[in-house]
Amino acid sequence: MIDPLWALLGGMAGAIAGSFLGTLALRWPEGRGVMRGRSACDGCGRTLGIVDLVPILSAALLRGRCRSCGAAIDPLHARVEMGCAIIGAIACGAMPGFAGAGWSLLMWLLLTLAVLDWRHFWLPDALTLPLAFLGLTAGLWVTDPSLPDRLIGAAGGYLILLTVAVLYRTTRGREGLGLGDAKLLGALGAWFGWQALPFILLLGASLGLLGALAGIASGRTVDRSTRLPLGTCLALAALPGWWLSGLIR
């Protein structure tokens, strides 16, 4: 049963969080500051006012363009806002209170990491490490694994992909897997426990394979040197993997 008031509050909080996270996903990889100075149009440099900065609504009213110069605004920003608003509304509406807030925070961070890895093959420590810390602390009141299961999951998730990365580099003489992927899997282990890791890995690898097959079907060249955003696949597989692991406990 969805609580409409909590769903509204969660959706509003998600839209605000998404505005910040969308800006972060766009600026951070380019080395631009997120917290410093006021937001400005990338096309004409005009400082944005309140009308331009209302989450979701401004993008709809302005049709994704600057109202001064008409330059297109990256649609990623509005998509992240909308995604975070939907996450917040569902999580808080279904689980009013601390649990809903915890689920919202988890999924907002996973969405941001998925976007960064999809676009830039980058999973920054500044997001993966706090995600792991939250899983070992606030996560105790959000998901059901015990603290020992979380600690084993955090260590095991990291070590599994670290081992794969080291073996690949040793045998092939080049990097094949980033340590950001290992840290993300460790963070997911901290949230969902070690029992969920096989399911998350299996689903994540399956999504990666489907992505490669889709690339081949669309005519793109996919070979041994093609990079795939494993972190994006792991983030998408986190929730269904945890759900599947719960079915066999």
Residues 197-223: tens digit of each pLDDT = 999 999 999 999 998 888 888 888 777
Burial class (CB in 10 A: 0-12, 13-18, 19+), 177: middle
Q: Rounded distance, CA 104 to CA 109, Å?
A: 9
Going by pLDDT thresholds of 50, 70 and 90, the confidence category of residue 124 is very high
Q: Is the pTM of this model over 0.85?
A: yes
Burial class (CB in 10 A: 0-12, 13-18, 19+), 139: buried
**% of the chain residues with pLDDT over 70:** 90
Q: Write down the pLDDT at residue 112.
A: 98
